[in-house]
Amino acid sequence: MRTKIFVFAALLTLVALALAACAAPAATTGKLRVGLITDVGGVNDKSFNQSAWEGAQKGAKEFGWDIKFIESKQPTDYEKNIDQFATEKYDVLITVGFLMGDATAIKAKQYPNIKFAIVDNAYFPTKGVAYCDDTKKDCYDDGGLKNVTSLMFQEDQVGFLAGVLAGGMTKTGTVCTVSGMEIPPVVRFVVGFQNGAKWIKPDVKTLNVYIPSFIDPAKGKETGQSMIAQGCDVVFGVGGNTGNGGLLAAKEKGLMAIGVDVDQYNTYPEVKGALLSSAAKNVDAAVYNYLKSVNAKSSKAGVFTANLQNGGVGLAPFHDWDSKIPQTVKDKIKTATEDLKSGKLATGYK
Amino acid sequence: MAVLANKQRAIKISSRQILNAVFIGIGAVAVFLVFDAIIGGKCDSKCVIGTLNQAIRYAAPVALAAYCGLMCERAAVINIGIEGMMLTAAMVGYGVNVYAFTWLKAGGMDPALAGDASRWLSLLLAIAASGLMALLHGVVSIRFKADQIISGTVINILALGITGYFYRQYLAQDIPPGPGTFAPFDIPLLAQIPILGPIVFQGQKPIVYFMMIVTLLIHYVLFFTPWGLRTRAVGENPRAADTLGINVFRVRYINVLLGGALAGFAGAWFTLEAVDVFNPQMTNGLGFIGLAAMIFGNWSPFGALAGALIFGLGNTITTTISIFRPDIPSQIPQMLPYVLTILVLTGFVGRAIPPAADGQPYEKQ
Give the residue extent of every domain in chain A. Answer: 29-153+285-306, 155-279+318-342
Query: Cα-Cα-Cα-Cα dihedral of B315, B287, A253, B321, to 10°?
Result: 10
Residue from the list A212, A222, A241 with its beta carbon closest to the beta carbon of B334: A212
What is the C-alpha separation between B138 and B141, in angstroms, rounded?
A: 5
Which of B150, B175, B276, B278 to mutate to test binding with chain A, by most A CBs within 10 Å of its CB? B276
CB atoms within 10 A of CB A295: 16
CA distances for A145 relative to A111, A142, B197, angstroms: 10, 8, 62
> Which residues have C-beta within 8 Å of that of residue A347, sequence separation ≥ 6?
A154, A156, A157, A159, A160, A191, A192, A195, A196, A340
CA distance B17 to chain A (A): 30
Mean pLDDT is lowest, of A6-15, A177-186, B13-22, B102-111, for A6-15
Once rounded to an integer, what is the mean pLDDT over residues A41-70? Answer: 89
Contact B27, B348 (CB under 8 A): yes
- Structure confidence at residue A16 (pLDDT): 57
Q: Which of B131, B82, B75, B71 is nearest to B249 (CA)?
A: B75
- Structure confidence at residue A26 (pLDDT): 45
Instruction: Please state, for a pLDDT cut of 70, what percent of chain A lies above it.
Output: 91
Count how many pairs of residues, chain A against chain B, have C-beta atoms within 8 Å.
Answer: 127
What is the C-alpha separation between A284 and A268, in angstroms, rounded?
A: 17
Contact A237, A178 (CB under 8 A): yes
- Structure confidence at residue A17 (pLDDT): 56
Q: What is the pLDDT of residues B339-357, one digit of tens each?
A: 877 776 676 666 778 899 9
- Structure confidence at residue B178 (pLDDT): 85
The ipTM of this complex is 0.83
B150–A241 C-beta distance less than 8 A: no
Helix (H, G, I), strand (E, B) or coil at A113: coil
Mean pLDDT is lowest, of A81-90, A302-311, B33-42, B83-92, for B33-42
Is the model's pLDDT at B113 over the cut of 80?
A: yes
A222–B319 C-beta distance less than 8 A: yes
CA distance A166 to chain B (A): 18
Kindly indicate the confidence band of residue B280, based on its pLDDT and cuts at 50, 70 and 90.
confident
Once rounded to an integer, what is the mean pLDDT over residues B34-51? Answer: 81
Contact A81, A43 (CB under 8 A): no
- Structure confidence at residue A11 (pLDDT): 60
Q: Give me the domains of chain B, ranges plus CATH numbers.
A: 2-349 (1.10.3470)
Q: Which of A263, A271, A269, A266 is nearest to A245 (CA)?
A: A271
Beta bridge partners of A257: A235, A275
Strands A174-179 and A205-210: parallel
CA distances for A131 relative to A37, A184, A217, angstroms: 21, 20, 35
Once rounded to an integer, what is the mean pLDDT over residues B110-126? Answer: 94
Strands A148-153 and A115-119: parallel
Q: Does A264 touch chain B (CB under 8 A)?
A: no
Contact B249, B142 (CB under 8 A): yes
Q: Which residues of B touch A218 (CB under 8 A)?
A: 58, 270, 274-275, 282, 284
- Domains A29-153+285-306 and A155-279+318-342 agree in fold: yes
A207–B315 C-beta distance less than 8 A: no
Architecture of the structural domain at A155-279+318-342: 3-Layer(aba) Sandwich (3.40)
What is the C-alpha separation between B303 and B300, in angstroms, rounded?
A: 5
Which H or E element spans position B59? helix B45-74
Classify domain A29-153+285-306 at the CATH superfamily level: Response regulator (3.40.50.2300)
Contact B138, B276 (CB under 8 A): no
Residue of A319 and B319 predicted with greater confidence: A319
Beta bridge partners of A151: A119, A304
Average pLDDT, chain A: 89
